[in-house]
Structure 1
């Protein structure tokens, strides 16, 4: 009796274990691939699935998008500059059967091919193109990966360059280049400002030539601006200085004329006259 009970218990345990091994749950974001005696039976959709223990094998494959970082790669660009470039790739499985049958480890395979593709694509571009045309490089890498992974049942949805490390010497050279570029722009802007200012001053001078009082008003305005702050500066406008010079010249001429008149002898006084020979000694009175 005890032996029978023991056998019943063993059979019940085996049945429970078999049922537990036969019941499989495929989640909503997964797809199952069923093998029977090593042969492919077909895919299994999400839900509760039953298999034959020790006969069937069910592989569950995730269909969600996978984020895979691409390790930093030492790359020499087309213009012989050494850079370290890292990226990130996004992919998802679109055919669960191919991802299980066509390749052993799809994640490792995509990681390796993404690294080699990154080195290949970036090495075909110059440093300036690598820094400025990242969108085109991302698209080229994605297209190459899509061609290689389509046989694995994998679709690469996005590839983005994450970081580009430059040598210190190249950073200093680029900093000098940027500084020189900014100095060039500053000089050009300054020259354009000087040109506009010269044109405006030319127009202003033409207006002042037509209106002489405008220059006097401008001089008075300048004196007002100078006199805002308390200082000991004395300013003489140019017209005032020219007037003082002309006045000095006039006084010099007058002084010279007066000195010349003082050195000339006065004419003879004819109010008292001697005897006139014509009048035979008679006296002529004027």
Structure 2
């Protein structure tokens, strides 16, 4: 009797273990791939699933988007500049059967091909293109990965360059280039300002030449602005150019008058004062 009870207990334990091994749960974001005696049977949808212990093997494959960092790669660009570039890739499994049968470890395979593709694509561009055209480089990498991983049942949804490390010498050279570019823009802006100011001053001078009193009014306005500070002494000169012009006109008139009028003849009967004994001027 005791032997029978022990046998029943052993059978019950084995039944419980077999039931535990036969029951499988496939989560909502997963899909099961079932093998029976090593041969593919099919897929299993999410939910509670039963398999035959020691006969069936169920592989659960996640269908969620996977974030995979691509470690930094030492790359030489097309213009022979050494840079370290790291990126990040996003992919998801679209065919669970292919992801299990076509490749041994889909995550390791995608990681390796992503590294080689990153080196290949970045090496075809110059440093300036790598820094400024990251969107085009990301698209090229994703397209190459899609072609390579379609046979694995994987779709690469996005690839982004994450970090670009430059040598210290290149950083200093780029800093000097940026400073020179800013100085060039500053000089161009200064020259444009001088040109506009000169044009405005030319228009103002034409207006003042047409209206002479405008210069005097401007001088008075400047005097009012300076006179706000009562602690300063203001020396306000007369308009220099107008003064020189008036002086030149005066000298020209005097010279013309002296040239046109002859000198008067000498009067012999003119009384020339001279010393006399009586102190009376002597007539000649």
Measure how far apart 1:242 and its partner are. 2.5
Distance 1:226-1:48 versus aligned 2 partners, 3 A rule: same
* CA shift for structure 1 position 234: 2.0
Distance (whole Å) between structure 2 residues aligned to residue 142 and residue 109 of structure 1:
15
Q: How has the CA–CA distance of structure 1 residues 135 and 113 changed in structure 2, closer, same or farther, with 3 Å as cutoff? A: same
2:163 aligned counterpart, secondary structure:
strand
For 2:64, the equivalent position in structure 1 comes to 64
- Retained in 2: the 8 A contact 1:219–1:237? no
1:238 aligns with 2:239: yes
Question: Aligned equivalents of 1:78 and 1:19: distance in 2?
Answer: 62
1:76 corresponds in structure 2 to 76
Whether the 8 Å CA contact 1:63–1:94 is kept in 2: the answer is yes
Q: How far has the Cα of 1:197 moved from its partner? A: 1.0
Write the distance in 2 (CA, Å) between the matches of 1:240 and 1:199.
21
2:191 maps to 1:191: yes
Q: Which position in structure 2 is the counterpart of 1:14?
A: 14
Q: List gaps (5 residues or longer) in structure 1.
A: 254-263, 270-286
- What's the offset of the Cα at 1:240? 9.9
Query: What's the TM-score, normalizing by structure 2?
Result: 0.85
In structure 1, the residue matched to 2:119 is 119
1:221 aligns with 2:247: no
Report the TM-score, using the length of structure 1 for normalisation.
0.85
Counterpart of 1:97 in structure 2 is: 97
Q: Pick closer, same or farther for the CA change 1:267–1:115 going to 2, 3 Å.
A: farther
Distance apart, 1:235 and its partner CA? 2.7
Which residue of structure 2 lines up, in the alignment, with residue 128 of structure 1?
Answer: 128
CA RMSD of aligned residues (A): 2.3
Distance 1:114 1:240 in 2: 79
Map of 1:47 onto structure 2? 47
Deviations 1:35-86, CA, capped at 9 Å, x for gaps:
0011110111111100000000000000000000000001000000000100
Aligned partners of 1:65 and 1:91 also within 8 Å: yes
Matches of 1:105 and 1:184, distance apart in 2? 55
**For the structure 1 residues 153 and 240, does the alpha-carbon distance in structure 2 shift closer, same or farther, using more than 3 Å as the test?**
closer
Q: Does 1:137 align with 2:137?
A: yes
User: How many residues in Structure 1 have an aligned counterpart in Structure 2?
Assistant: 257
Tell me: CA distance 1:224–1:13, structure 2 relative to 1, closer, same or farther (3 Å): same
Deviations 1:178-212 (A, max 9, x none): 11111111111111111111111111111111100
